[in-house]
Structure formats: C-alpha cells, structure tokens
Amino acid sequence: MSRPGTPENPLRVAIIGAGPSGFYAADQIIRDPATEAQVDLFDRLPTPYGLVRGGVAPDHPKIKSVTRVYERTAANEGFRFFGNVEVGRDLMIADFERHYHAILYTFGAEADRELGIPGEDLPGSYAATAFVGWYNAHPDYADREFGLDRAKRAVVIGNGNVAMDVTRMLALDDAELRRTDIADHAIDVLDSSGIEEIVVLGRRGPAQAAFTNPEIKEIGELEEADVIVDPADVELDPASQAWIESDEADKTARVNVEILTRYSQSRPSSKPKTIVLRFLSSPVEIRGGERVESIVIGRNELVMDEGSLRARDTGEREEIECELVLRSVGYTGIPLPGVPFDEKKGTILNHEGRVLESHGGEHRTGHYTAGWIKRGPSGVIGTNKKDAQETVAHLLSDVGEGRLLDPEDPGPEAIENLLSERKANFVSFSGWQKIDHAEVTRGEPHERPRVKFAKIDEMLDVATKDGKAGT
Ligand code: NAP
C-alpha cells in the first residue's frame, strides 16, 4: 500500500475532544494541499465545541460566534463527528490504533485545581468550573446546587477571567440573564439568590492580575452592582511600580492597573449589589459547621523569586463571614489511562505536540496532542489555533517520513461498524445540527439565542428523531 495521504490511501486521523483545538487541528489537516486526509472528531458529549459551549459565559455571545468557523470545517467531505462516544467506555486507545494512522488528543483540562486549605470541601465551597458548567447547561453539572438562596456574601478566589465570569454571573440582573443562552435551570436560581456582596480575592497585586482588560472593565459596567476597590490596595509596591513603568510590562497589566485605580477613586452609587475587589489576599481556611460560614484571609506581600513577584504570607489574618465560596484558581487536565501524563503540569507528556513515552523520552509513534491538554489552561480561544498548527506541522512532517501508525483496518466504515457492534449511540454532525436547530427554535419565542438541553437523553432523543443518531 502507498504511504498514507494519497487518494488510494488517505491519511486517517482520530481527534479526541471536539473543542476549539480539535476543530482547528481537523481544519488544518483537511486543508493541507499535499495530503489527502479523513478526520474523525470524537467527543464524549453529543454536542461539539467544548468550552465554547460549556465554558464561555452566556453574556458573551460574540465569543461564541466562532462556532461558525467550526461549522465550515465540519462541512468538508473528509470530516466526520462522532458525539456521545467516550474513550474507555465505547472505544479503547487500542481501537483507535487499529483504525487510524494518527491519534490527536484535544480533550482539554476539565478538572479544577485545588487550594489545599482546610474547609475547602465544606458544602458552600465549590469549584468555579462546576458553577460555570451548571449555568452553561453542561450535562455533568446540570443537577448541582450551590445554596444561592441562603447566601448573602459570596467570595470568589482567583484573579483570572473565569473569576470575572462567575462574579458577573452572580451580579447580572434577571433581565440581562434572560437575554442569554444560560441554562434554564440557572435563571430562576440566580434571580432569586440572596447575594448582596461578592468579594474577589487576588493573591498578588493589581499589576499581576490574570484577567484581561475587557473583562475587568465589564465588572464596572454592571447595571446592578457597584465596584469597590480600596485605594490602599491599588498602591503598587516598589517592584511592581518599577515593572509597570518599564518596557517589559505588558499593556494588559498597565491598563488593568489604570482601570482598578479608577474604580478605587469612584464612589458607590447604591446599586443593589456590591463587588469588592481585594488584592494581596489569600484564603487560609474556610470555616463552618454544616456549611460554609466564613473564610479566613491571609495578607500577602510580594517578594521577588526567580525573576517574578510571588505572594508571601505576612501572617496577618482576617475572618469574613460568607455563605458561598467559589474557587477559581485554574483548571487542570485529567489523565486518560494508557496515555503518558505529566502529573505536575496536568498535561499529556509531549514535546511540541508529539506525545512522549516518558519525560525526555521517545515520541510515541502516531500519538499527538494540542490545546489545553498539551500546554495547560492558558490563553484565549484563538491561542489554540496557533497551538494546533505546531502539532499538525509535526504530524504532517511525520506522514512524509513514514513515522505513523500502521492500522489493520483503516476503512472509514470500520469504526462505525465497531461502534454499532458495541451499541454506542453515536451522534453525527447532522445529529448535532438537529439538536442545534431544536435549541435555537426553543429560544425564538423568548428572543433568546437558544434554550439549551442539559440532559444527554434529551439531546439523544432530538438527534435520533427521524432516524438513528449516526445519520
Ligand atoms: P488563570 O487565568 O490562570 O487565573 C487563575 C488565577 O488563580 C490567577 O489569578 C492565579 O493567581 C490564581 N491562583 C492560582 N492558585 C491560587 C491559589 N492557591 N490561591 C489564590 N489564587 C490562586 O485561569 P482561569 O481564570 O481559570 O482562566 C483559564 C484561561 O481561560 C485563561 O487563559 C483565561 O484568560 C481564559 N479565559 C478567557 C476568557 C475570556 O476571554 N473572556 C474567559 C474565561 C477564561 P497567580 O497569578 O498569582 O498565580
């Protein structure tokens, strides 16, 4: 047989994880003019788009419009989507090795990072990832409860864009929420929540905050919430001041400091809710009997450590009452059994997207990775395009070198037959389009972009209407 990538023997690639990285990688492989390719994109959910559907905040519809680009990828002849297929349940890694020349892992970083402080697991203290999944109708989180009815003060830990998203969602008013594609089950709960104050804790200073300018600006533009920043909190320490004035400082940090300084100078206008942004503050302990009752905060100072400013505990303590804590200190990857994993980084062990057998070891032939599970949870959606390019360039160069898997059964029907044999109720892209259409239709009478299904069974019912899900 000729080398893969020719019309007689097309390159067959399985991509696992249908988020932005999976779609960008699929697109780049299919569009390579020198390679005839067929790409099968798998996801454990019946729906594609990963964090664009399950992570991006409901009030950010513009960011979600990137799915139009992914729809164009899906329209290519060499592309197939297999939703509702879980690796380890419906297909094993060995199955992919038997059917594809290459496997590309793009399943993201789904788990939350832990704080490692006492009380972290008390009812009332939750990972922001779960809260985000809940309000975005992710089936894994649809049944969660956060005790919003009994909470007056919420504390959000972390200074990234996810912290900004959850803060906004707690502060948006009912009319603002009802214009979005937020999960139906979340609207009434958020609307009837007793939250009056949201305290956001940054462990370092305003110049080190991880959020970006539009996100911190939005916090100051909320209809229902005033923003409070203590002027002492935005007074930079000498090292941060010198850095922010230097050429090394990035514009995002400089503008963040300007915006926060403005907030510190403005007077609250007696809106019903208050957002308090605090800096140099780390959670030390979450206290409570049955549920969260308070949080102990440690005051930090910044110290230079290997070229960057790190937070160091001063020993000063303060306890504030609160009923809800949302920990938003980043995501981490979950290992896939049989795929080499870097526990420290929470990523698949890889060099520039080529999966490695061990630290500094050989490339595992035919296995690749892209996106958050390759580099960690950083950057915006578009960052994954460049990241996928690096991986796909290596994959295509390995095609040229003949360094790929040698599948026993590379025919395109074989994987469908195997899934049918195993009674896997997979959803094709046209099955997803039925779900999409049904959601948009449900939204129309309410002038909402869509009303999402939050249960897998509901999605499968719609996808299988007028035929099986795979058609
Ligand atoms: P992130 O940007 O990495 O922010 C994590 C935050 O948690 C940082 O402020 C970090 O502080 C803090 N942190 C970490 N460990 C901590 C600890 N033990 N105690 C207290 N604070 C701690 O992560 P993210 O907010 O989850 O966002 C993930 C990625 O998605 C980011 O690239 C983000 O920009 C992107 N995103 C973008 C948007 C958007 O474009 N609108 C929306 C959501 C997410 P240090 O800096 O001190 O480590």
Average pLDDT of the residues in 270-279: 96
* Ligand 1 proximity of 278 Cβ (cutoff 6 Å): no
For the range 386-389, what are the long-range contacts, defined as Cβ-Cβ under 8 Å and sequence gap of 24 or more? Answer: 387/21, 387/24, 387/353, 388/21, 388/24, 388/25, 388/28, 388/106, 389/24, 389/28
The pLDDT value recorded for residue 442 is 97
What is the per-residue pLDDT across 145-168, written as a single tens digit (0 to 9) for each?
999 999 999 999 999 999 999 999
Nearest CA to 372 out of 381, 364, 361 is that of: 381
pLDDT-above-70 percentage for the chain: 99
Amino acid, single-letter form, for residue 387:
D
* Ligand 1 proximity of 27 Cβ (cutoff 6 Å): no
Task: Give CA–CA dist 286/320, Å, rounded.
Answer: 10
Provide the whole-model pTM. 0.96
What is the per-residue pLDDT across 299-354, written as a single tens digit (0 to 9) for each?
999 999 988 899 999 999 999 999 999 999 999 999 999 999 999 999 999 999 99
The pLDDT value recorded for residue 164 is 98
What is the per-residue pLDDT across 416-437, written as a single tens digit (0 to 9) for each?
999 999 999 999 999 999 999 9
What is the overall mean pLDDT for the chain? 96
How far is ligand 1, taken at its centre, from the CA of residue 45, in Å? 25
Given a cut of 50, whether residue 471 has pLDDT beyond it is no
* Ligand 1 proximity of 330 Cβ (cutoff 6 Å): yes
Structure tokens at 439: 């959601």
The pLDDT value recorded for residue 247 is 87
Sign of CA dihedral 134, 67, 334, 16: positive
The pLDDT value recorded for residue 411 is 85
Given a cut of 70, whether residue 466 has pLDDT beyond it is no
pLDDT-above-90 percentage for the chain: 93
How far is ligand 1, taken at its centre, from the CA of residue 37, in Å? 37
Cβ–Cβ under 8 Å, residues 133 and 177: no
* Ligand 1 proximity of 162 Cβ (cutoff 6 Å): yes
Structure tokens at 247: 């050429």
Residue 427 DSSP label = B
Return the residue whose CA atom lies nearest to atom 4 of ligand 1.
160
What is the per-residue pLDDT across 181-231, written as a single tens digit (0 to 9) for each?
999 999 999 999 999 999 999 999 999 999 999 999 999 999 999 999 999
Task: Give CA–CA dist 357/340, Å, rounded.
Answer: 6
Return the residue whose CA atom lies nearest to atom 23 of ligand 1.
330
* Ligand 1 proximity of 397 Cβ (cutoff 6 Å): no
| Band of residue 80 on the pLDDT scale cut at 50, 70, 90 | very high
* Ligand 1 proximity of 20 Cβ (cutoff 6 Å): no
In angstroms, how far is the first alpha carbon of the chain from the final one? Answer: 31
The pLDDT value recorded for residue 143 is 97
Structure tokens at 43: 């996801």
Burial of 287 (0-12, 13-18, 19+ CB in 10 A): middle
Given a cut of 50, whether residue 59 has pLDDT beyond it is yes
Atom of ligand 1 minimally distant from the CA of 310: 47
Return the residue whose CA atom lies nearest to atom 7 of ligand 1.
329
Given a cut of 90, whether residue 469 has pLDDT beyond it is no
What is the per-residue pLDDT across 368-394, written as a single tens digit (0 to 9) for each?
999 999 999 999 999 999 999 999 999
The pLDDT value recorded for residue 135 is 98
Task: Give CA–CA dist 293/418, Å, rounded.
Answer: 52
How far is ligand 1, taken at its centre, from the CA of residue 56, in Å? 14
Sign of CA dihedral 394, 395, 399, 404: positive
Where b means 16+ CB within 10 Å and e means fewer, 79-112 reads: bbbbbbbebeebbebebbbbbbbbbbbbbbbbeb
* Ligand 1 proximity of 229 Cβ (cutoff 6 Å): no
Given a cut of 70, whether residue 25 has pLDDT beyond it is yes
Average pLDDT of the residues in 435-449: 97
How far is ligand 1, taken at its centre, from the CA of residue 201, in Å? 12
